Amino acid sequence: MIRVPPRLLVVEDDDPIRTALRWALEDEGYDVAEAATGEDAIAQVAVAAPDVMVVDLMLGSTDGFAVIREVRREHDLPIIVVSARADTHDIVAALEAGADDYVTKPFQVKEITARLRALRRRARAGGGAAPDVPPDEVVLDAHPAAPLVLREQRGTVHRGDEQVPLTLTEFRLLCELAAAPGRVFSRQALLERVWEHGFFGDERIVDVHIRRLRTKVELDPGSPRLVVTVRGLGYRLDPQ
């Protein structure tokens, strides 16, 4: 059987950095495409969606934030931001836009490849069960009109009859919390379980993804009852 290499799109306006990333990622076995502008990146994704993206934030008129938001409208592929902007506001804004991870420049290429490997492992683990495996169902919220149901083997979450459009990271985060209802998970524990490279990770990533998850699974995200903050400790899931 012929193995098709994973498609990766590098979105970077600095030619030397983009070229260095392409060479390094091709050595890792990726089929690498390049985009020097946000407009070009969006066009390439629309024509042939890549399996994963590496995106700079400073791209001109259509910046990395806009690219991520546009991609997230239709796709849940893993996205890593690579940027010289290390301010907390920029990191949080990129994660809020839909990025899965954030690396600041200057960086070592091996750090990028390590994070990509972790994202791909999560993607394979979250790919769903074989068709002949009966789906497991966990009712997270037994609301009479619109129950929230997690089917981990199928990789889906439904609120009533509607599927909840979770990204891979949000889905994995919900599965980890749902595996031990009532248990408090520290941010570091969630980094190690969900991101699989806690020694690289920044705890702010967890907080941002929890906020995004709440907007999708809570009936009232402003007053969450399902995914609860335990001040000074972390987060837990309280089935309703």
Tell me how far apart the alpha carbons of residues 170 and 88 are, in angstroms, rounded to a whole number: 21
Which strands make up the sheet holding 138-141, listed edge to edge?
Answer: 138-141, 148-151, 156-159, 162-163
Torsion angle of C-alpha atoms 29, 113, 206, 10, degrees rounded to 10: -70
Longest distance between any two alpha carbons in the chain, whole Å: 57
Query: What is residue 125's predicted lDDT score, i.e. its pLDDT?
Result: 52
Tell me how far apart the alpha carbons of residues 174 and 159 are, in angstroms, rounded to a whole number: 14
Residue 210 phi/psi, 5° resolution?
A: -65, -45
**Which residues make Cβ contacts (< 8 Å) with residue 46, sequence separation at least 6?**
none
Query: What is residue 47's predicted lDDT score, i.e. its pLDDT?
Result: 85
Listed in sequence order, the DSSP H helices in the chain are: 15-27, 38-47, 64-72, 88-97, 109-125, 168-178, 187-190, 203-217
- Cα 195 to Cα 152, 187, 189, 211, 238: the distances in Å are 17, 11, 10, 16, 22
Over its length of 240 residues, how does the chain's per-residue pLDDT go in tens digits? 456 678 899 999 989 888 988 898 888 888 899 999 999 999 999 887 888 899 999 888 889 999 999 998 888 788 999 888 878 788 888 888 888 888 888 777 777 887 787 776 665 555 443 333 344 678 888 888 888 999 887 888 999 888 898 887 888 899 989 988 889 999 888 888 887 654 455 677 888 889 889 999 999 988 899 999 998 899 999 988
Query: What is residue 229's predicted lDDT score, i.e. its pLDDT?
Result: 93
Query: What is residue 87's predicted lDDT score, i.e. its pLDDT?
Result: 80
- Cα 141 to Cα 126, 195, 210, 230, 240: the distances in Å are 22, 26, 17, 19, 4
Query: What is residue 235's predicted lDDT score, i.e. its pLDDT?
Result: 94
Q: Is-cis flag, bond preceding 144, omega within 30? A: no
Residue 61 identity (one-letter amino acid):
S
Both tokens of 134, joined, read 């009966």
Which strands make up the sheet holding 79-83, listed edge to edge?
Answer: 31-35, 7-11, 52-55, 79-83, 101-104
Query: What is residue 134's predicted lDDT score, i.e. its pLDDT?
Result: 40
Q: Which of 77, 72, 73, 91 is nearest to 9 (CA)?
A: 77
Complete domains list, the chain, with CATH: 7-125 (3.40.50.2300), 138-237 (1.10.10.10)
Report whether 99 contacts 55 (CB < 8 A).
yes
Helix, strand, or coil (residue 41)? helix
